[in-house]
Structures are given as structure tokens and as C-alpha cells.
Amino acid sequence: MHRIGRLHVLTDFTFQQRYSHAEQALMAIQGGAEVIQFRQKHGSVRDMFAEAMAVKKVCEHQEVTFLINDRVDIALAVGADGVHLGQTDLPVSAARSILGPNAIIGVTAPDVELAKLAEKQGADYVGFGPVFLTRSKANPTSVKGVPGLQKFCSSVSLPVIAIAGITVDRTREVLEAGAHGIAVMTAISLAQYPEIETQKFSLALLGQNG
């Protein structure tokens, strides 16, 4: 089974249209991304399937973990490594029964109680946020900040992926707060050179300056 990884890069075709999901995935992987998460909130299921399949081929060739955001049906259809679920998506137990025991299932859990529920249901990791302000969510819940992240990480046993508003400069403090890794979208997709920006995050996770 593929690793959960520390640097999760979400593909985006809402805030930018320069690059396809597959092109973003390849650049991110070349920059050091360990997990690619296909994220598309709008459009037809057929279009999502086609785009996700293209990303899957990239990830498969590069031997990188490939997750689908929200859509268990798309994950099953394209044979992704797993899914990342929000609180309004299918519960972990249902996703597990559909995708099988080897699928990686992550869950966004804004508080400890929901994180422990996700673990009980069989989640492999939890995403916590928003740690900082982000433009990628229309109605973000209250920003938790680094202190909130630290308290959360100290209370859960699953690996924690910090979500929202993560920048290269903030990466070290996020890790020091106890996060296993980070999830990044617009900081990379909107960068002038996405591959180079991904590399900066990768180096920051290693404790180096890019």
C-alpha cells in the first residue's frame, strides 16, 4: 500500500486554468509531492472521471499515492489509492466497504471528537484545519491557528495533515506543532512555477531552505 506521505498537493481547476489536473500532478511530483489529491467540486461526473483517470496514469507511472477528494464513486471507478472525505461526504465505514481494506482513507476533522470517530471507523489519517485563512473554501470554519493545531495533534493518535493557508514559511511551525504533513493547493497551483514552489515545500518539510 502506498504511503500516506507528508506533502499532499491538491490539483485545482477552479482558481487557475493554465494547467490541467494531470499537468499539475506531474509538476508537483517532479517538485517532490508524495501524495496527489484530485479535487474538482463542479462539472459532470464524466468529465471528473476523465480528468481523474489522466491524473491516475501520471501518479501510477511516477509511483506516487493518488487520492480523490470527496468522491468515493470516482475513486472506485478510476482505481485510485483512496479518498479524502469531508464531514458531509460518505462516512468512513461506508467508503471502506466500497473501496476495500487497502484503500487509504483520510477525513477532514475540525475537532478531536470527530477525529476519534474517524479513527474508530477506520480512517488512516485526519486532515485538520483551516490552520490559517484560505481562499479555497467559500465559507471556512473558524481558523484554528498553530495553537489549535498543536492541541489537536496532542489529542489524536492518527497522522495529522494540516490543511488551509499553509505556506513555505509556515511549514516548520506546523510540523513543530505535531502535524505529520501538510496539504497545499493554491500556493502551488497559482505559483508562477508550480514545480519550483512544490520543491520549496518539500525542502521545508526536510528542514532545509529552498
Structural domains for the chain: 7-205 (3.20.20.70)
Which cell numbers hold the place of 48? 471528473
pLDDT at 207: 84
Please write the tens of the pLDDT for every residue from 15-70. Answer: 899 999 999 999 999 999 999 999 998 889 999 999 999 999 999 999 999 999 99
Contact status, residue 134 vs residue 162, Cβ threshold 8 Å: no
pLDDT at 208: 60
Count CB-CB contacts under 10 A for residue 119.
18
Please write the tens of the pLDDT for every residue from 120-177. Answer: 999 999 999 899 987 665 555 588 899 999 999 999 999 999 999 999 999 999 999 9
